[in-house]
Structure 1
Amino acid sequence: MMMKTAEQISTALEITAPFLMIDNYELIEKGKTAIATKSISVDDWFFECHLPKSGVMPGTLQIEGMLQTLVLLIYDSFEHGEHRAYVNNINVKLMKAVTVATCSELRYEATILSMRRGICKGEVIALCDGTKICAGTFSYASPHLMAVPKSAE
């Protein structure tokens, strides 16, 4: 198992606060599964500007945490080096609001479903203190891993 801190995650993803949506990451099985977490606090910036009376985390930021978890799993599982993978399909169902009153930690569980010709498909579920709040399937394209057809000569 490989663990990453917020600083290592930020470096790997080239994403910094406040847009970094995961605090800790653990590779459970290379090419298969990873888990990431995000601590939720009343002091988080998005609670001030998104439905401030309700204290609701934007669904788009929950999805961003899911994407960040899956792409780290892809980077740790396949030869990426300095190359990037780019999201090209998102299918998410948001099931329950994340509020500062009901959630202290988000947990993202990512699984790779397939990797063919540089296209990786995966799924991620998000749990809020053990309750499933959203789930999605995603695909990422890794252009440097895509097979280039040979020219006919």
Structure 2
Amino acid sequence: MDIGRIMRAIPHRYPFLLVDRIVELRLGESAVGIKNVTANENFFQGHFPGHPVMPGVLIIESMAQTAAALVVETLGQAGTGKLVYFMSIDEAKFRRPVVPGDQMRIQVTKQRARGTVWRLSAVARVDGVVVAEATCSAMIRDP
């Protein structure tokens, strides 16, 4: 999925669109998203001046957006006009900082889907090294 298709699937826009491409998509199962982290990101102005580090909450948001794209694409026509709302995050762990120049590769895998609620696991890596991981739940709803 290129950026245009991602933007058709989820409502996020600059400066809060935090996934640049989906490079693998197995409908109903998993997706791999890419986030290219650049020095131009607006959050680096304050986090932290002189030592830029991507905030952990935004790494989680990148995971959630990758998961949302997977859900909406899996639903197909039934997902048109729906939003994926974050419900919970469990077992979040941050292993090392993400800095400008890094490319995060975000793997999300469906654990289960019951009705409108999905549970997914997510792992973010930079150069093959795990930087963060979490399990999240989301609900599909009308806006």
**TM-score over 0.5 (shorter chain):** yes
Letter in 2 for 1:84: L
The answer to whether residue 68 in structure 2 is matched with residue 71 in structure 1 is yes
The answer to whether residue 49 in structure 2 is matched with residue 52 in structure 1 is yes
Unaligned runs of 5+ in 1: 145-153
Residue aligning to 1:33? 30
The answer to whether residue 79 in structure 2 is matched with residue 80 in structure 1 is yes
Letter in 1 for 2:105: R
Tell me if structure 2 keeps the 8 A contact 1:27–1:73: no
The answer to whether residue 89 in structure 2 is matched with residue 90 in structure 1 is yes
Structure with bigger RCO (C-alpha 8 Å, 6+ apart): 2
Residue aligning to 1:8? 5
The answer to whether residue 94 in structure 2 is matched with residue 109 in structure 1 is no
Report how many aligned residue pairs link the two structures. 139
Unaligned runs of 5+ in 2: none
Deviation of 1:43 after TM superposition, in Å, equals 2.1
SS in 2 for 1:75: helix
RMSD: 1.5
Deviation of 1:142 after TM superposition, in Å, equals 2.1
Instruction: Using structure 1 for the length normalisation, give the TM-score.
Output: 0.84
Instruction: Using structure 2 for the length normalisation, give the TM-score.
Output: 0.89
CA–CA distance in 2 between the matches of 1:45 and 1:140? 27
**4+ runs deviating over 6 angstroms:** none
Percent identical pairs in the alignment equals 26
